[in-house]
């Protein structure tokens, strides 16, 4: 495994993140996100991501994105500067975290879907007591957010400065697979949006699962 390292200039890293999320997403594979809290430090090497675009991108409208219908209080960070976090709460109990991409004003982000815990194994295990193996600690978007203790309180915060740190790999991953995004219902989850990227063969990559099709709505009379 190549040892990740940040560019000498942190502004350069932010500049790199200010582009198209679909282009940046595969380049984030192999990078390491760390979070330093009073409990200790946990760092995760990213092995699976998904790109989400914003509205106003007439070339690539993204019906699977939280921003598809425009800005709201929740998705505001996606319209903000690159390198910040967008964390949302879902299913009444889970958090999922994104790295915001694109220039400020243009919404796009990369969902962190899975990773390998490379620092703070014990603490990650305490935060994720239901894990059955080390590979399970962050093998899913909500698992990863839990291992790193990310919540909506962190949404909008800068991932490139304390208490966070993001380091890109020295060289981009050579072997990257792509496919439809997980759990996205409707057109956004189709083969037309192969914006999920992962490191093939990595044991921490989550298993693919198509969106659960909703049962046909029963119209009462």
Partner DNA sequence: CTCCGGATCCTCT
Partner DNA sequence: GAGGATCCGGAGG
Residues that bind DNA (CB under 7 A): 50, 52, 64-67, 69, 72-75, 78, 86, 88-94, 96, 98, 109, 111, 128, 130-131, 136, 140-144, 152, 181-185, 206-207, 211-212, 214, 217
Q: Which is nearer to DNA, 114 or 173 (CB)?
A: 114
CB of 167 to DNA, least distance (A): 21
Q: Mind giving me the DSSP string for 3-48?
A: PP---SSHHHHHHHHTS-HHHHHHHHTT-EEEEEETTEEEEEEEEE
CB of 133 to DNA, least distance (A): 11
CB of 54 to DNA, least distance (A): 9
Q: Which is nearer to DNA, 58 or 130 (CB)?
A: 130
Cα–Cα distance for residue pair 136/121, rounded to 1 Å: 11
Q: Mind giving me the DSSP string for 59-74?
A: TS--TTSTTTT---TT
Reduce the DSSP state of residue 188 to 3 states and report it. Answer: helix
3-state secondary structure string across 116-177: EEEECHHHHHHHCCCCCCHHHCCCCHHHHHHHCCCCHHHCCCECCCCCEEEECCCCCCCCCE
CB of 123 to DNA, least distance (A): 16
Residue position matching structure tokens 């890109």: 168
CB of 161 to DNA, least distance (A): 22
Q: Which is nearer to DNA, 10 or 68 (CB)?
A: 68
Q: Which is nearer to DNA, 38 or 214 (CB)?
A: 214
Q: Which is nearer to DNA, 94 or 157 (CB)?
A: 94
Structure tokens at 86: 């967008």
CB of 211 to DNA, least distance (A): 7
Cα Rg of the chain, angstroms:
17
Cα–Cα distance for residue pair 184/65, rounded to 1 Å: 9
Q: Which is nearer to DNA, 124 or 160 (CB)?
A: 124
């Amino acid at each position: 495994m190549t040892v990740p390292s940040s560019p000498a200039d942190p502004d350069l890293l932010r500049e790199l993140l200010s582009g198209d999320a679909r282009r940046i997403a595969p380049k984030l594979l192999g990078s390491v996100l760390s979070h330093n809290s009073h409990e200790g430090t946990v760092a995760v090497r990213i092995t699976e991501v998904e790109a989400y675009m914003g509205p106003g991108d007439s070339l690539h409208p993204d019906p699977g994105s939280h921003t598809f219908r425009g800005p709201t209080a929740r998705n505001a960070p996606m319209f903000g500067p690159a390198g910040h976090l967008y964390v949302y709460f879902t299913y009444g109990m889970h958090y999922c975290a994104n790295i915001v991409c694109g220039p400020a004003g243009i919404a796009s982000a990369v969902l962190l879907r899975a990773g390998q815990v490379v620092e703070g194994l014990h603490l990650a295990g305490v935060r994720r007591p239901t894990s059955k193996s080390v590979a399970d600690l962050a093998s899913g978007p909500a698992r990863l957010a839990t291992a790193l203790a990310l919540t909506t309180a962190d949404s909008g915060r800068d991932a490139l400065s304390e208490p966070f740190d993001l380091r890109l790999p020295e060289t981009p991953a050579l072997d990257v697979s792509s496919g439809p995004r997980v759990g996205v219902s409707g057109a956004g989850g189709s083969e037309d949006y192969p914006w999920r990227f992962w490191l093939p063969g990595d044991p921490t990559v989550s298993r693919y699962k198509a969106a659960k099709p909703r049962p046909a709505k029963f119209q009462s009379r």
